[in-house]
Structure formats: structure tokens, C-alpha cells
Amino acid sequence: MSSLERRAHVSLPATVRSLAPKLLDQQLWCWGCDIRRAEGNLLSAYGFVKLKAPEEVRLSSAYTLCFTDGAQVTLWAFGVFYGAPEQGGIFIKRGGFEARYTPAHRLPITAWCAAPEGKPPDTVQKCAQTLKLLRALSAWIADYEAWIATQTPPDYREACVAAWFAHKRAVPSAAMASAWRTIAESCRHAVILS
């Protein structure tokens, strides 16, 4: 960082800081349910490619989806990566909602890889890019949940959420898409402090 750039950080609304970690945890659980679904893997049906972790790594497989605009989302049991051209990428670890920024917008798509290192965004530009990426990721998750509702019986997602630890539930299954849309909109109005 040059001496002309001031340190900065993102300040999300308190409601998002409270809801988002639990919602992401619940979402990762639901994606696991989608993978294990007896009638077929819903992530694969959506277009994700499964990348199996090497045996010596002993981590979950990765599921990667590349969008026509060059964006990419990669899911693991321990977190999610979202990247877009000219914006870079973010990794959000399970158990929190701190986006770690990386200038790389793509991860390997032919072999499993670990999550990118990344760092909390520390300049106004990186903070602005991080917010755009968070907004896009949250909107995509909302769209995915809307797609799930069209592909499965009405009680499918409800059963997934019911199987999740009651004390960890963020929102009822029917509210997941709208909760992600609320987070996406909150990212549009978040504050960058420097």
C-alpha cells in the first residue's frame, strides 16, 4: 500500500453482521443436503463441476461453477469463493462472514485447490470491490434458492433446514432467498471507513 492510500475497511449494518454468519452456515449445510439428495445431486444438476480433494489433503470436495460473464463460484464444506473479472475474488470461511479479498478472480477449474489465502480488504478500492463481490454472491445464492424451489417438492428445503441444529438456524427455509437478497441490498449501502 502506498503512502497516499489510507487504510480502509467495510462496515456492514449490525443486522447483517448478526445474520450473515448463521445464514452462510445454514446455506453450506443445505448445499451439503443438495449434494447428498437421494434423487440426484442438485449442485451437479445446476451445472457445478465436482473437484475431488486428493486423499492426502483430507478436505471436502470443491464444487465450481463458471458463469458466462467470467465470474466463478466455488463451494467447499468450509466456505465459499466468488470472483469476477476486473474485481478480483473473495473467500468467506464457514463460521463467520469476513470476506478475504484476493486479486485473483478465478481458481483452477480442472483440479481441486484449497481456498485462496486472501486478506481483509484494506484500501477504499479493495473495499468497494469486496462489496460488489459480496452483493453479487448474495444475489446469486438467492437466485439458487429460488431455483431449488422450482426443482424440488415444496417441503424439500424445509426438511434440509429442519435437519440442521435448531440453535444454529438463521431463518426458516422459506425465507432463505429473501434473506440473501436483503444481504445483497445491504452491501449496496454498506459504509467504507478510512
Mean pLDDT for each consecutive 10-residue tract of the chain (194 residues)?
A: 67 92 97 97 97 88 96 97 97 94 93 91 95 97 98 95 91 96 93 88
Residue 125 corresponds to which amino acid?
Q
pLDDT in the model for residue 41: 98
Interatomic CA distance for residues 83 and 87, integer angstroms: 7
The reply to whether 78 falls in a domain is yes
Which DSSP state fits 95? T
The reply to whether 182 falls in a domain is yes
Interatomic CA distance for residues 90 and 108, integer angstroms: 15
pLDDT in the model for residue 5: 59
Q: Which of 6, 1, 33 is nearest to 173 (CA)?
A: 33
The reply to whether 123 falls in a domain is yes
Specify the 3-state DSSP secondary structure of 188. helix
Q: How many domains does the chain have?
A: 1
The reply to whether 122 falls in a domain is yes
The reply to whether 4 falls in a domain is no
Question: What's the predicted TM-score (pTM) here?
Answer: 0.94
The reply to whether 2 falls in a domain is no
Which residue segment(s) compose the domain that 50 sits in? 9-193
Output phi, psi for 52, to 5 deg: -75, 135
Which DSSP state fits 167? G
The reply to whether 3 falls in a domain is no
Interatomic CA distance for residues 126 and 29, integer angstroms: 29
Q: Are 64 and 82 in contact (CB under 8 A)?
A: no
Output phi, psi for 103, to 5 deg: -70, -20
Residue 192 corresponds to which amino acid?
I
The reply to whether 40 falls in a domain is yes
pLDDT in the model for residue 167: 86
pLDDT in the model for residue 194: 84
Q: Are 88 and 104 in contact (CB under 8 A)?
A: yes
